[in-house]
Amino acid sequence: MDLFHKKRTICIRGALCDLSEPRVMGILNFTPDSFYDGGRYRDKESILSHVGKMVDDGVHFIDVGAVSTRPGAATVTEIEEMRRLSEVLGVIRDKFPDVILSVDTWRSGVAYMVVREFGVDMINDISSGDMDKRMHEAIAELQVPYIAMHMQGTPATMQKDPRYGDVVNEIIGYFAVKLTKLRSLGVKDIIIDPGFGFGKTQEHNYILAGRLEEFGILDLPILVGFSRKSMIYKNLGVPPDKALAGTISLNAAALMKGADILRVHDVREAMDTIKVIKKLREFS
């Protein structure tokens, strides 16, 4: 199978977005406590500077999060999440009206708000509807692409002794159930994310990465989010800000195994990785 020429499209703003070649999703965390970039982007100038750099570096989508989902993160109310997102999305839409925006939220109320008020283009749900049973119905009504991620437990419990029989087969089965429901509701554009670091041990994460091609059985775009996570920096014995090389290594491996979207903090390096892997595949 030629992983760079799969027929992959999602509908954004009434037009087809081609995923036949891998795409890059840049991360913008508007939170004080995210594991890597918490607190960096808290004012208009820093937000616009960061978004502008990602756009200049060639980013395809920008994923905005207003609630940290790292283990032990403080709880944020829905009202506060909406307030934070309103502030940052308004700034981005004023300056970059054409950028394709995703919002990282598990709340259906937030999904309705960001799509209807700010024209957000897709929703990235870490719980695939498990934390808000109304989310799937919301996506069906809003008709925006939906990133369904696997997580065992919740952010508060996910790293407390996660266990699986066969981690790959169990997560594929999990997605199969979710896809049946989503499709029955009329949701057409679905992207799956195995959820690296969410309810998985280091071993689970590397098994998933090593067998990523098996998710191709679901015949859907695959998003991977390795960027500077503990599966990299703990393995290397470095802090997150020294984990770029490890991130690039895993992104390259994922591309060779069928990843369609790289969710990253470092856009230029991800774009370069795609270019190099694309060239390599021309001769293999």
Is the residue at 87 inside a domain?
yes
Residues 6+ apart with CB under 8 A from 119: 93, 101
Catalytic residue among 8, 23, 228, 263: 263
Residue 136 phi, psi dihedral angles, 5° rounding:
-65, -40
> 114 with 142: CB under 8 angstroms?
no
Is the residue at 116 inside a domain?
yes
7 is catalytic: no
Model's pTM, two decimal places? 0.92
CATH number at residue 176: 3.20.20.20
Residues 6+ apart with CB under 8 A from 71: 155, 156, 158, 159
Letter string b/e over residues 195-210, b meaning 16 or more CB atoms within 10 A of that residue's CB: bbbbbbbeebbebbbe
Catalytic residue among 229, 242, 257, 268: 229
163 is catalytic: no
Structural domain of 138: 20-282
Is the residue at 2 inside a domain?
no
Is the residue at 3 inside a domain?
no
Is the residue at 270 inside a domain?
yes
Q: How many structural domains does the chain have? A: 1
pLDDT tens string, the chain, 284 residues long: the values are: 444 445 589 999 999 999 989 999 999 988 764 544 444 556 888 899 999 999 999 999 999 999 987 766 677 899 999 999 999 999 999 999 999 999 999 999 999 999 999 999 999 999 999 999 999 999 999 999 999 999 987 776 767 888 899 999 999 999 999 999 999 999 999 999 999 999 999 999 999 999 999 999 999 999 999 999 999 999 999 999 999 999 999 999 999 999 999 999 999 999 999 999 999 988 98
Is the residue at 133 inside a domain?
yes
Residue type, 227: S
